[in-house]
Amino acid sequence: MPFSSLSRLFRPALPMFAENKRYFKSLDQFQPVEEYEFVVFDTELTGLHERQDEIVSIGAVRIKRLQILAGETFYAQVKPEKPLPKNSTLVHRITPQQLETAPPLAEVLPSFIDYCGKALLVGHFVDLDSAFLNRACRRLFGSPLHNPCVDTLRLAQIHMERFGAPYRNKIDAGPSYNLTELSRQYGLPSFVPHDALQDALQTAYLFLFLIKKFQGEGYRTLREIFRAGHGARWAL
């Protein structure tokens, strides 16, 4: 691994990164889903450009034995390095004043990484959030996160491919994979969108819903669930 040792010269990686990497490399993918611990997370961003936009808040909830631990949530606002663009405030309603006193990402990220621990990460369209996270991790700690990620959007697609769209959606033109829309279609309790913690919870509900529906159809392990779709893309 010459690349990672090289980057370590510039910025020492947290020992946890290396440990997690070893841990997840040998992760047994054939356990029933309820055996894994998951952290469902969401980030709010200044925009969608990976190279220029920044994280302004992170929300996350923990799932053990396929139950959401309401008392173990994570929420932090982050002070961006560049001034907050006005149009992003319109989306997530976080104002520049609110972020004035927030800590920078360099301070927030370690506690979030610590919070994630050995859990598998879950997000809705998780590629976007993890891209931002990993870019920041590489920059600040010299290593990306090694926790495997599960995408609820992908789960929903697989579910619809296998078992059809939810009844509520059948009269619509086509399925929508937007988090709020999916939750509405599946009849889940609804949360305020565009708040990192609320979105994380909404995603966690969707995740529980889909996983248990898969279980009801006889798919017991994560691997089986992803096999149900065609791709087995579940690690970064």
Partner 1 sequence: MRASPQNIHAVTPEIVLEFLAHTLPFNELDTDTLRNLANSCLIDFFPKGTVIFRQGQTQVRYFHLIQKGGVKIYLKDEDGTVTLKDFRGEGEYFGALPIIQGTNVANLNVETVEDTFCFLFPREAFLSLIQSCPKVTHYFLRSLSEKLVKTAYAQLRQHKIAPRTENALFLFSAQVGDIVRGAPRAIAGSDSVRMAAARMVELHIGSLLVHDQEKKIVGIITDRDLRTKVVAAGLDYQTPVSRIMATPLKTIPSHKVCFDAMLQMMRLSIHHLAVEQQGTITGVITTHDIMILQGTSPLFLFREIVAQRTIEGLYPLARKIPAVIRTLIEEGAKANNITRMITVLNDHLLDRLLTLLVAELGPPPLPFCWLVMGSEGRREQTFITDQDNALLYAEPESEAQGELAAAYFKILGEKAIDHLIGCGYPPCPGEIMASNPKWRQPVSGWRGYFDHWLRNPEPLEVMHSAIFFDFRAGYGDATLAENLRQYLVRNVPQQEIFLLHLAQNALEARPPLSFFHNLIVEKDGEHKNSLDLKKKGIAPFVDFARLFALKHGIPENNTLGRLQILHEDGHLSRELYSETVKAYEFLMQLRLVHQLRMIEQQHPPDNHLNPADLSELEKQTLKEAFEVVRRLQSHIRQEYRLGEG
Binding site for partner 1 (CB under 8 A): 61, 66-76, 108, 111-112, 114-115, 186-189, 191, 197-198, 201, 204-205, 208-209, 212-213, 216
- Tokens linked to 132: 């931002």
Q: Measured from the CB of residue 74, what is the shortest distance to partner 1 in angstroms?
A: 5
The residue among 107 and 161 lying less far from partner 1, judged by its C-beta, is 107
The residue among 12 and 187 lying less far from partner 1, judged by its C-beta, is 187
How far is Cα 207 from Cα 146, in angstroms, rounded to an integer?
21
H/E segment holding residue 22:
helix 15-25
Q: Measured from the CB of residue 65, what is the shortest distance to partner 1 in angstroms?
A: 9
Position of tokens 């937007």?
Answer: 178
H/E segment holding residue 63:
strand 55-64
The residue among 77 and 221 lying less far from partner 1, judged by its C-beta, is 77
How far is Cα 219 from Cα 33, in angstroms, rounded to an integer?
9
**For strand 149-151 and strand 120-123, is the pairing parallel, antiparallel, or unpaired?**
parallel
Amino acid at 154: R
Q: Measured from the CB of residue 122, what is the shortest distance to partner 1 in angstroms?
A: 14
Q: Measured from the CB of residue 6, what is the shortest distance to partner 1 in angstroms?
A: 31
Q: Answer for the pair 94, 44: CB distance below 8 angstroms, yes or no.
A: yes
The residue among 76 and 150 lying less far from partner 1, judged by its C-beta, is 76
The residue among 55 and 201 lying less far from partner 1, judged by its C-beta, is 201
Q: Measured from the CB of residue 111, what is the shortest distance to partner 1 in angstroms?
A: 6
Position of tokens 């506690």?
Answer: 111
The residue among 74 and 141 lying less far from partner 1, judged by its C-beta, is 74
The residue among 121 and 230 lying less far from partner 1, judged by its C-beta, is 121
Q: Answer for the pair 199, 75: CB distance below 8 angstroms, yes or no.
A: no
H-helix segments, 58-178: 86-92, 96-100, 105-116, 126-141, 152-163
Closest CA to 150 of 168, 123, 174: 123
Tell me the torsion sign for CA atoms 152, 27, 120, 33. Answer: positive
Q: Measured from the CB of residue 216, what is the shortest distance to partner 1 in angstroms?
A: 5
Q: Measured from the CB of residue 1, what is the shortest distance to partner 1 in angstroms?
A: 29
